[in-house]
Structure 1
Amino acid sequence: MEIYQHDMSALFEQLGLGSSPEEIQAFVKNHRHSRDSTPIHEASFWTASQSAFLKQAIEDDADWVELVDQLDVMLRDE
């Protein structure tokens, strides 16, 4: 089994989003939402393919899952 080390920039690239630190920070700022029980992949701002990727990463406990979890925390208002 291969284990890949991804970073947040790679996750944003995988999602087809700008992946510079400034672009990531802007995305998080513009899409921050309240802490509720909505799963990250069901947030209204994702495209269908982005949502499917996030859902699959979580369901498969893929090597992306830790970054998806980290992004989920970043997107939730405190």
Structure 2
Amino acid sequence: MSSVRPRMTHLFEQLGLDASESAIAEFIESHQLDRDAFINEASYWTEAQRQFIEEKMKSDGEWAIVVDQLNESLHEDSVQQ
């Protein structure tokens, strides 16, 4: 079992996305969700990415915290309105 705590960069790597800071910021900025949209239902995920996100959300562990952080970031624009 790994003692490394998952981070946003690890999540992006697991999703097969560019995990550089600039790429993460760009992804978040360009993939904002509506207030009522669920992260796992976003149209831009592949089925494998969606399954990974759902699995980590249900795990209620450290990965769930990182997915929740991404979820909050993807809803920033809807909160500011």
Q: TM-score, normalised by structure 1?
A: 0.88
Paired with 2:19 and 2:2, the residues of 1 have a C-alpha distance of 24
How many residues are treated as equivalent by the alignment?
77
SS in 2 for 1:64: helix
Matches within 5 A, 1:11-50: 11-36=11-36, 38-50=37-49
RMSD of aligned residue pairs (Cα, Å)? 1.6
Percent identical:
40
Q: Which runs of 5+ in 1 are unaligned?
A: none
Q: Which runs of 5+ in 2 are unaligned?
A: none
Q: Which has the higher helix share?
A: 2
Paired with 1:61 and 1:3, the residues of 2 have a C-alpha distance of 17
Give the structure 2 partner of residue 54 of structure 1: 53
